[in-house]
Amino acid sequence: MSRGLHLIVVGKLKDGALESIESDYLKRITNPELIIHEVKASAENKQAEGEALLRKIKDITKDGTAHIVALSEWGKKHTSVKFSEWLCQLLERSPRVIFLIAGAEGFSEELLRACHDKVSLSELTFPHKIARILLVEQLYRAQTIRSGHPYHN
């Protein structure tokens, strides 16, 4: 599986307007490319979802290692510039970075133990599909900050 950025999410986006926004950002994220993987939601069962996420991580990392990052309200908070710097350092050290967004019940303990970092998008709580769009936008923003593109201004 390819190097670079991966986002594993529980559930499908299923919203044409949000899919369009996400698609637009995905076209722009090129260095490195972002690959999104969707795993099936499991009727309010975070253990089953955790196992599905771990299987997908193993599938992605079977030819190497990865830095695994859970999106969590209890994670580290960054400004966009600090997030860009942090991500750039991760990409220099690791062949791939995998971000995870859990289902409505959150992450299983087993999955959290497998993560290297937890990152928070905000102190606010967002629906998972909005958190997904926010992360994709921030990944694009991080790329533009790194390259000196005026998007962040």
Domains, the chain, ordered by start: 4-152 (3.40.1280.10)
pLDDT by residue (tens digit) across 27-51? 999 888 999 999 988 776 888 999 9
pLDDT by residue (tens digit) across 3-12? 689 999 999 9
Mean pLDDT score, 107-119: 93
Give SS3 for 141: helix
pLDDT confidence bin for 53, thresholds 50/70/90 = very high
Give SS3 for 41: coil
Look up residue 100 and give its two tokens: 């995870």
What distance in Å separates the CA atoms of residue 150 and residue 153, rounded to the nearest whole number? 6
Residue found by looking up tokens 């350092």 in the block: 89
Residue 59 dihedral angles phi and psi, to the nearest 5° = -65, -45
pLDDT at 134 (0 to 100): 97
pLDDT at 64 (0 to 100): 76
What distance in Å separates the CA atoms of residue 138 and residue 131, rounded to the nearest whole number? 10
Model pTM score: 0.93
Q: Is the pLDDT of residue 2 over 60?
A: no
Q: Where are the beta strands (DSSP E) in 44-123?
A: 67-77, 96-101, 117-120
pLDDT by residue (tens digit) across 72-106? 988 999 999 999 999 999 999 988 999 999 988 88
12, 74, 80, 137 from 145: Cα distances, Å: 29, 25, 8, 12
pLDDT confidence bin for 1, thresholds 50/70/90 = very low
